[in-house]
Amino acid sequence: MVTKILVLSRAFVGRKMASPGIRAYHLAGALGRALPEAEVTLAIPGDKGEVALPAPNVRLQVWDGNSSATALARSHDIAIARNFPPHFARLLGTTRFALDAFTPLYIEWMELSKRDIVPRWRRTWMSGNRWYLNFQLTLADFIFCADERQRDMWIGMLMALALVPPEVYERDPSLRRLIDLVPYGVPRHPLDARGPVLRGVVPKIKPGDRVLLWNGGVTEWNDPFTLLQAMDEITLRRQDVHLVFMGSNHPDYVFGPTTGVLGRAIEMAKELGLFGKTVHFLEGWVPYERIDDYLAEADASVCLGYENLESRFAFRTRYVDLFRARVPFLCTRGDVLAERVEDEQLGITVPERDVQAVKAGIERLLDDVSFAATCRENLGRIAPTMSWDIAAEPLVRFCASTGSYATPARQRRAQALTRAGMYLAMKKICQSPPLH
């Protein structure tokens, strides 16, 4: 019997996509290659006209609402998603569910709600999201996340929700067959740069200049402000260092170009006199097939944040392509990949909000030729171990199996329906209009 696997992307998949869409696309491809006898469907929101198949046995399907998503899940043996619509509760026991928990959503929502939700409704909004997250964990027959820190966090939540009863523990005391690691991966092919996109193309960036790449969007948990202050000091001494922010218009409309941290960063760059001179915010979003061109021109990459709860459980997906491109990077301490940067000499880590440390780190990455070469060598050595095919192996094993190590579906059904219902009720109660 042919196994039918659905990868449901809640994020945009196409020429311009961010990490959630990229991840869904490549996981579908990895499943297709590893399970050639299976039928894999990549369901995407919007138009599928410009999306290439990630593997020959993967078909593309457009979904446009909870009803169509539910119908798709009902027609597949396994459904995989970053978050499932509450309507999926009725499918528990017929379709097996694999939850992609690579993002600590509750913490991200905490950050986003500061910007988007009227303060008096924020507590209600977050309470609804807690019910939503509890529903996701209840529905899941298998959970996969990015690293061991995240896994510890999710296991704690599962235990608090009574989803690790003695019989689940006895079947697998490691819980690896219930929750395992599928980190963010890299494509198998080497870097494929097709031509210049920055030097001699972006105004003010000359052929011999040095390029610092902020390779991704600017989110509410990023700290571009310390970086801009460091760039201000660097620019006073030398004019050959250019900072390029790759993305302004997030394809999933989570972060707009004139709101939140990004809008304030643009204003700060203008106030410092750096905007369009040594600091450049690229308009729109770089097409996925052209990312290699930007990586190939980068002397170093930089992304700053804060040493807080978000960084504790974050997996910085933007760093992963730097391994394949062998681009040394500077980042704030606190997250899992920052620890790896320190332990394996892949770049430089700095304390939060430390302008002088950032300035010194940038100059070392650009001017210490021997150090940068060692970082590049180490990045290149690690990159082959990070392919999507290797990363997806635990998910492949789940899809190749026939059972579930979660609490039996009949015991979870009432909990799933209750938690889905509470989420929908809280969503109706919360009357906060968007602030932007």
CA dihedral sign of residues 357, 363, 364, 365: positive
Summarised one tens digit per residue, pLDDT across range 267-289 is: 999 999 999 999 999 998 899 99
**Total-model pTM:** 0.95
- Domain 210-386, classified CATH 3.40.50.970, yes or no: no
Distance CA 238, CA 221 (A): 29
For position 33, what pLDDT does the model report?
98
Q: What SS3 state is found at 360? A: helix
H/E run at residue 301: strand 300-303
Segment 349-378 shows an average pLDDT of 98
Q: Give the full edge-to-edge strand order of the sheet including 347-350.
A: 279-281, 241-245, 210-214, 300-303, 329-332, 347-350
Segment 139-150 shows an average pLDDT of 98
Domain ranges of the chain: 4-185+389-429, 210-386
98 beta partners:
80, 142
What is the fold, at CATH topology level, of the domain defined by 4-185+389-429?
Rossmann fold (3.40.50)
CATH topology match: 4-185+389-429 vs 210-386: yes
Segment 4-16 shows an average pLDDT of 94
For position 328, what pLDDT does the model report?
98
69-73 — which CB contacts under 8 Å span 24+ positions?
A: 69/8, 69/43, 72/6, 72/8, 72/41, 72/43, 73/6, 73/8
Residue 44 token pair = 């995407």
| pLDDT above 70: residue 161 | yes
Distance CA 296, CA 373 (A): 15
